[in-house]
Structure 1
């Protein structure tokens, strides 16, 4: 089995990295090794219940991501903030090649966007570590040191779902004068498909079957930095 499975849709590798100006990434199970909400649920003894909803949503079996997130959040009511801190320190790890890929893209002049249906508690750390230029994610409501089971409204809205990911990619592209075709989108779940469909290069990383089927590139084995093998080496 090859590390990199290519689905050709109007392009023939090698590509030129200089043709791209922006790359947008999902976080959970793409840049990092876990689904943060499932690990938070573990602290409440409800991981199996929450993880089942997460899996169904990521496979595209639940079409309303916002509803699926609200259902999961309700099950987390009362979880102490200390549980989030433990997930961050003890369980969150970057997926292989994540740091290398982001560093290479930034060195080539691309802007990076982190768009997540997860939570700012974690995206702030991930974004800082990887040098993201923009971040969009959900803000957990915390009352008296514990999760309320809800989210805080932000200037752009309450929940970052698939359509918000797509909108954020296009907005950031417009801000730097980039066309959608000059963007790369990387994800693993069904809620990544809207932004992947808007980008000039869509990449599925260890993704759900529905996502692999629709992506231009599927990395099924190995690390995220395998994506770099698509591009021509930079001239010396």
Structure 2
């Protein structure tokens, strides 16, 4: 990797690790600015290498969003974004690792959620894999491991920090969300084409914001677009 690219991703790591470390105990969370359809309160609980954002309310039965962090980040870095996602009445199973590109940690988090929360997710919940930057690229790899129904990749890096190992299933819905002021993982010239090449059912979205928008509050325009697809694909 060229020195300039190493510097760029070192900056990502520094910014992402600035979030608070996740507590090992369950705690009730305040609303994080979910979309207009949100109706669930959220409790956060720790697992093995995973943190769960558990909804309460709505139908009482929930599908699962598996989450992978950006390089150097942790689930607490995205606490506002993930709380807002869970408020849409989905169970968020977030890996705690700062290196989520291969999809294994997200696979583990989702499988733990299926077992631990079987009473509220049922025997065959829909699963969508998601993540930011390295985790966004890794969402494709996690989807293949889990045979996921959908992928919501947030500003995915598919060039420097991870590679998409193979195309997802032909019946897996995919959206890649990019931002107009993102200079670290822009759609052009490679990330958008890599996403498209590895999906048969592909949508590409462009929002305002920089690469660090998802770690602030509920994620700005990026978070709004992410929740739009959560509602479209995971909220029954």
**TM-score bracket for this pair, using the shorter chain length:** 0.3 to 0.5
Larger radius of gyration: 1
Report the TM-score when normalising by structure 1. Answer: 0.35
More helix by share: 1
Report the TM-score when normalising by structure 2. Answer: 0.35
